[in-house]
Chain A
Amino acid sequence: MSATLPAAQALPAKPAMPLAAGIWRDNPALVQLLGLCPLLAITTTVTQALTLGLVTLFTLLASNTLVSLLRRWLSPEIRIAVAVLIIAGAVSAAEMILAAWFHELYLRLGIYVPLVVTNCTILARAEAYARHHPPLAALRDGAAYGVGFLLALLLLGTLREWLGHGSVLRDAELLFGPAAAGWTIGSVTGHRGLLLALLPPGAFILLALVIAARRRLEIRAAPRIDATGAAQVAR
């Protein structure tokens, strides 16, 4: 199933559940390193990260389900064309919805919403999974990878907003409505945080730290793989 994916994943002892695969073992952002452009660009606040994560999740669900439904008719000649069509359509719909009901967020995310089309995770799931599996399984697979990407965005967004702005969930009302205006944790004004965390280099550094932490947890949690892992390091 992962023939077309980068082979950098960590030696799965047994086939993981789809949810665990998408969120942990094959996390699109933290293991496969896909979709990093929006990931690094917009995770300056939790609200922005959450919005882009939801758009990506929605697109993955739509494309996986539709590709799976159409799989009997998708010959190799038109398979990718149809998948890209579906993905572009889903993203365009999401963009219009954002512009109409979440206008300020739409302005802030700018080009990164249309760029969800180019997130390789989405086409990779259509190619690697959805076109061989029934709709329900494809939907579950899309949910797993979409949530995996969303969680990575949220984690990075939380770290960067906290370090850079000294707050968490500022501007939440842009996504959740006026009731969310008081959700912000920490100060919104008067705090001069760590500027580096808000700039692209800080995003790369924090992403690297998150990836390293995930790797460490993974190695710790799987003592049986230690011998092989050690052998790999020595090689």
Chain B
Amino acid sequence: MNGTDRPAAWQSIAALAASALLVSSVLVVVDHFSRPRIEAERRAAAEALLAQMLPGIDYDNSLAASFTALHPVHAGDPNGVYRASHKGRPAAWVYAVTTGQGYGGAIELLVGVDPAGRITAVRVTDHRETPGLGDRIEAGKSTWITQFEGRRLGDPPAAAWRPNRLGGAFETISGATITSKAVTDAVRRVLEYDTAHRGDLPAVEKGQ
């Protein structure tokens, strides 16, 4: 096809460079118009999720802006916390935690805790559990995840803090015992962390 009028080397170099310039210019333009919207969508999605975490809790700061990264020492320690405050006093904590005990891989959770150590809500933010079975940990697919609301360490007692299929006090998603146990355990570990370390959390509440 291109035997007779084969382009010289400099022409190939120029063509390659011109193509790169053309493609990157288009991307710069698309990026310029989409970036503000992408960031707004991300922020809205994060705020919407966080807003579900603290039903019935009064707070007057931006939860998304209150995030502090934590450094997990033991498996099951949360990797970050959002702190809600009301008139400068701590109102609630929302811990982000990742458990590696899921059936399909890591499960990422948010666990909201009120000053009395009671769970306000639990939500799954990312997982790879089996569609139709383990994915019922999502709030949009079943109400299973809401059974933790109002619970605290000691209610039920530590020995019963597991799915009922394994002799505990919580419901089990049928066909997904491993998933149920992973989430149940992760929630308990967060409460234990909260009890032990809440006092150590950086006191930024006043500034926000």
Q: What per-residue 1/0 map shows which CB atoms of A78-90 lie under 8 Å from chain B?
A: 1001100110110
Cα distance, A132 to B35, chains bound together (Å): 37
Partner of B12 from A44, A73, A195 at Cβ < 8 Å: A73
- List residues of chain B with CB within 8 A of the CB of A97: 30, 34
Bin chain A's interface residue count. Answer: 20 to 34
Q: Are B19 and A70 in contact (CB under 8 A)?
A: yes
- Whether B73 is near chain A, meaning CB under 8 Å from some CB there, is no
* Interface members, chain A 117-147 (any B CB < 8 Å): 131-132
Given A75-B12, A82-B15, A195:B132 Cβ within 8 A? yes
Question: By the criterion CB–CB under 8 Å, are A96 and B31 in contact?
Answer: yes
B204 within 8 A of A: no
User: What distance in Å separates the Cβ of A104 from its nearest Cβ neighbour in chain B?
Assistant: 8
What is the minimal beta-carbon distance from B11 to any residue of chain A, in angstroms?
A: 6
User: What is the predominant secondary structure among interface residues of chain B facing chain A?
Assistant: helix
A93-B30 in contact (CB<8A): yes
Residue of A nearest to B5 (CB): A72
Number of chain B residues close to chain A: CB under 8 A = 30
Shortest Cβ distance from A107 into B: residue: B45
A-B pair count, CB < 8 Å, reads 77
Residue among B11, B15, B33, B42 with the highest chain A CB neighbour number at 10 A: B15
A92 on the B face (CB < 8 A): yes
A223 part of interface (Cβ distance < 8 Å) = no
Q: Kindly state the separation between the CA atoms of A155 and B15 in the bound complex, as whole angstroms.
A: 40
Judge whether A101 and B2 touch: CB under 8 Å. no
Is the CB–CB distance between B11 and A73 below 8 Å? yes
Q: Is the C-beta of A208 less than 8 angstroms from some C-beta in chain B?
A: no
Q: Is B38 an interface residue (CB 8 A)?
A: yes
Whether B131 pairs with A199 at a CB distance below 8 angstroms is yes
Question: What are the 8 tightest A-B residue pairs by CB atom distance, in nearest-first order?
Answer: A89-B23, A100-B34, A100-B37, A73-B15, A103-B41, A195-B132, A96-B34, A75-B12
Q: Could you show 12 A-B contacts with beta carbons less than 8 Å apart? A: A72-B7, A75-B7, A78-B12, A78-B16, A86-B23, A89-B24, A89-B26, A92-B30, A101-B34, A103-B41, A195-B133, A199-B130
